[in-house]
Amino acid sequence: MKYKNDFYNTLKNSTSIKPIIKKITPKKLIEITRNYSNKDTSVSVFFENTQARFDFKSKESQGFMPVYYWDSKLNFGDLVGPYLVSKITAKPILNIKNLKSPGVMAVGSIIQMLDRKDMVIWGSGLMHKPTTEQAKNLRMYNPKVLSVRGSKTAECLLKIGIEISNQDAYGDPALILPLFYKPLISETKEIGICPHYKHKADFSKNNVYKKGLKIIDVQNDMESVVDLIASSKVCISTSLHGLIIAQAYNIPWVWLEIYDDNLYGNDFKFRDFFSTIDQTQVSHVRVKSKDIDNIDYHDIAKKASLPKKRYSEELILECLNNYLNNSNASN
């Protein structure tokens, strides 16, 4: 149908080839494409007593909360931002990543992806130190930064001249998830192994499925993943948000770093998060990928800790609420 629409636009706008195309094109096809292009291209969503509408032709929306979040690969950590914003605003979320519309960046290592003006950042972070081109774009687009994930992101932004509204509110918003979601806790407490999706295949071997161990698939729906982490007696994770959710729900954790198969950005985002807790209390175990099947996870679990927090859940939430209240007052 896309090609019919493109065809009709060509037919409508071109003066030189229009007579020729009209002559060789069946009238029925012209009629179909004309009717299709004039159809209502909007969709409506009803969500928690709110009616929302999006028009695919004009790209205009009503009733949605516009949020920029990463959705190219299923990963529960990328859904925490839209989940929280939806809970806080009681509105359905419209992902604006591909729409070039203004909105909120919430959670995730996505600040370096900024590609438009009038964006608001709440608790997101950088994946790594910004390149020269990324720094140039950040200065040009000049987002309103309510808060960031941690001090490493803050240092990079301040260095290139980006202001941060509240430098006392550092912390990943996933840390306030317990205010909005009460997990379903299983009766059996096991050691939870939470690999990043990049490492998932490495943890599918038989030895990892020993009694007392459970593999947590971060590509399941967000609430299910949180349920499993919160039901663990210890969380051993190569995923950043595996650690953050464990911290949020007071589950002792261990950062398992597979140093010969590191995540993109290496340890930047981990160190960024660690700046909001007592870093001296972080339990960190480094292994090679070939050793994953032979690790004594029960032994590693004994090293788990729950670092003292230096973040404030109240301040993290207050940043967004103040922005939303001020925005509503000015509208």
Q: Give the sign of the dihedral formed by CA 147, CA 150, CA 152, CA 153.
A: negative
123 HSE (CA, 13 A, CB side)? 32
**249 and 237 in contact (C-beta within 8 Å)?**
no
User: Virtual CA dihedral for 79, 170, 183, 65, nearest 10 degrees?
Assistant: -40
Collapse the DSSP code of 274 into the 3-class scheme (helix H, G, I; strand E, B; otherwise coil) and give the result. helix
Whether 104 contacts 66, CB under 8 Å = yes
Note the pLDDT of residue 271: 97
* Among 14-18, 72-76, 84-88, the least confident range: 14-18
**pTM (predicted TM-score):** 0.84
Q: Cα separation of 89 and 60, whole Å?
A: 19
Give me the pLDDT at residue 61, please.
78
pLDDT band at 31 (very low <50, low <70, confident <90, very high): low
Question: Would you state the pLDDT for residue 42?
Answer: 76
Read off φ and ψ for residue 41, nearest 5 degrees: -110, 25
CA-CA distance, 282 to 277, in Å (whole number)?
8
How many CB atoms are located within 10 Å of the residue 186 CB? Answer: 13
Strands 50-55 and 42-47: antiparallel
Q: Domains along the chain?
A: 2-39 (no CATH), 44-171+313-330 (no CATH), 177-301 (3.40.50)
Q: What is the distance of C-alpha 215 from the center of its chain?
A: 22
Q: Which of 47-51, 142-146, 240-244, 266-270 has the lowest mean pLDDT?
A: 47-51
Res. 26: pLDDT tops 80? no
Mean pLDDT value across the chain: 86
Residue with tokens 């960024």: 272
Give tens-digit pLDDT for 91-103: 999 999 998 899 9
Kindly report, residue by residue over 257-268, the tens digit of the pLDDT.
998 866 765 799
pLDDT for the residue 7: 44
**pLDDT confidence of residue 8:** 45
Helix or strand or coil: residue 16? coil
